[in-house]
């Protein structure tokens, strides 16, 4: 029984690690090439606007999104459920 439990935990760890890598890589791919503003949607339904490259910082384990007021949100990649194109913010 303990051996089965250990194998299950190992499988879960590998799948979780793969999901984190894929999500981080999805965000990195979105930042490469010509930049188009986008929204990051999280599992709790919140959206975080990335109007320009300067508003996002990606580490191997976190995605940090800043806003125009200077506040930041630190996102766990496991909770990022989608990346959507967004219209640019007004320049006013």
CATH number for the domain harbouring residue 69: 2.30.30
Contacts of 49 (CB under 8 A, 6+ apart): 37, 38, 39, 55, 65, 67, 86, 89
13 within a domain of the structure (yes/no): yes
How many domains is the chain partitioned into structurally?
Answer: 1
Q: Look at residue 92 and tell me if it is in a domain.
A: no
In a domain, 23, yes or no: yes
Domain residue limits at 20: 2-85
Q: What is the pLDDT of residue 54?
A: 95
Q: Is 83 exposed, middle or buried (0-12, 13-18, 19+ CB in 10 A)?
A: middle
Residue 65 counted as domain residue? yes
pLDDT in tens, 39-89: 999 999 999 999 999 999 999 999 999 999 999 999 999 999 999 988 766
**What is the side-by-side order of every strand in the sheet holding 56-58?**
56-58, 63-66, 72-75
pTM of the entire structure? Answer: 0.70
């Amino acid at each position: 029984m303990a051996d089965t439990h250990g194998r299950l935990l190992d499988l879960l760890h590998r799948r979780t690690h793969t999901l984190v890598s894929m999500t981080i890589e999805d965000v990195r791919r979105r930042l490469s090439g010509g930049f188009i503003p986008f929204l990051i949607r999280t599992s709790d339904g919140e959206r975080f606007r990335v109007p320009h490259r300067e508003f996002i910082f990606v580490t191997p384990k976190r995605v940090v999104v800043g806003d125009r007021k200077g506040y930041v949100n630190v996102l766990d990649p496991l909770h990022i459920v989608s990346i959507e194109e967004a219209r640019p913010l007004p320049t006013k």
